[in-house]
Amino acid sequence: MTEAGGATVATRLPRMSRARRSRPPAQRVGRALMGVALALLLVIEVVPIVWLLLQSLKAPDEFSANPVWALPEGLYWDNWREAWTTGNIQTYFKNSVIATFPSLFLMIALGLAAAFGLEVMKWRGRNALLLVFLAGILIPLQMVLLPLFTVYFHLHLINSLWSLIITYTAFGLPLTIFLMVGYLRAVPREILEAATLDGASLYRTFVRIVVPMVSNAILTVALVQFFFIWNDLLLSLTFISDDGKRTIQTGLLNFTGQYGQVEWGPTFAAVSMTVLPTLLLYLVLNQRVMKGLTSGSLKG
């Protein structure tokens, strides 16, 4: 959509630039104001993050001796070391990875299969069932939190990362199915037909033909869901209280509770660490992220 948008805007361009030369002064002032607004906008959006990263490299006495906007005097990596080891960020990081990737895998495997069954297979009631799945997008987490806690409590899954994996998987299904149904709609049916004529079973066709064809979509969906899971606070706060099992968000919350008031250096380092994976992913794949996140929200 963004690509097509770029083209429309581009065709609009020549006409406008011709008009620009004969602009009255009022419009020139307007354009100057726009420039200022734009500069301000970029400062507001970008400066806090840069500030955050720089603060993480300040030595302890710099915080009290220098103004808060001063650049660090050197690269004080001890903050990072302390946050990573003493502050347990390494444990939280590991737990987040352990919870995130199995959830992503399960969610996409189950979601893609279901989307195939709902969109490509032909049977009565498939539209109704699709609606039942999509209704899940609207359900507030709060409505299911306590029953889930009760069940996990009895199954001894509280303080186990499995409680998170199961819940993330289920909560990711509605959006995954919704997006996958959209992508599967674009898969030409003739290809499936050709595969079946060649004697491949439906399951084989699904694994060998359909999955590779939507691999691009799988990456987009995985990316979108990654951000939801990685940034989750409510579920991990509810199901995990053992410090050794905390994920990165609850861990950081706990960390800043312990160190945050006094030790700014390690706190900034810890915050930087949790920000970096998402920041790097975004730097590399931003167009895909923007497309994925917005398409997931709007067409529901």
Partner 1 sequence: MDAVLRDRRAVVAFVAPALLVYTLVLLAPILWSLVYTFYSGNVITGFQYVGLDNFERLIHDDAFWTAFTFTLKYGVLVTVFQVGLGLLLSLMYVFYLRRGSALVRTLVFFPVVLPTVAIAQMFAKIFAIAPQYGLVNAALDAVGLDGSIQDWLGRGNTALLVLVLMDVWRSMGFYAVLLYAGLVDVPEEILESARLDGASGVRLVRRIVLPLLGPVLFASLIFSINGTLKVFDTVVALTNGGPGQATTPLTLYMFNNAFAFGEYGYASAIATALSMLCLMVTLALFGFARRDVTA
Per the listing, tokens 């001796």 go with: 65
Instruction: Tell which residue, 243, 276, 120, has the closest CA to residue 186.
Output: 120
Per CB under 8 A, 138 contacts partner 1: yes
Q: How far is the CB of 52 from partner 1 (least distance, A)?
A: 5
Q: How far apart are CA 56 and CA 53, in angstroms?
A: 5
Per the listing, tokens 């590991």 go with: 94
Per the listing, tokens 């970029």 go with: 42
Q: Scanning residues 140 to 159, which ones bind partner 1 (CB under 8 A)?
A: 140-151, 153-154
Question: By C-beta, is 45 or 186 nearer to partner 1?
Answer: 45
Instruction: Please say whether the beta carbons of 291 and 2 come within 8 A.
Output: yes
Per CB under 8 A, 40 contacts partner 1: no
Question: By C-beta, is 101 or 149 nearer to partner 1?
Answer: 149
Q: Scanning residues 48 to 77, which ones bind partner 1 (CB under 8 A)?
A: 48-49, 51-52, 55, 63-64, 67-69
Instruction: Please say whether the beta carbons of 167 and 249 come within 8 A.
Output: no
Instruction: Please say whether the beta carbons of 119 and 187 come within 8 A.
Output: no
Q: How far apart are CA 233 and CA 252, in angstroms?
A: 10
Of these, 60, 72, 102, 117, which contacts partner 1 (CB under 8 A)? 117
Size of the residue set binding partner 1 (CB under 8 A): 111
Question: By C-beta, is 74 or 147 nearer to partner 1?
Answer: 147
Q: Scanning residues 177 to 236, which ones bind partner 1 (CB under 8 A)?
A: 177, 189, 192-193, 196-197, 202-203, 206, 227, 230-231, 233-234
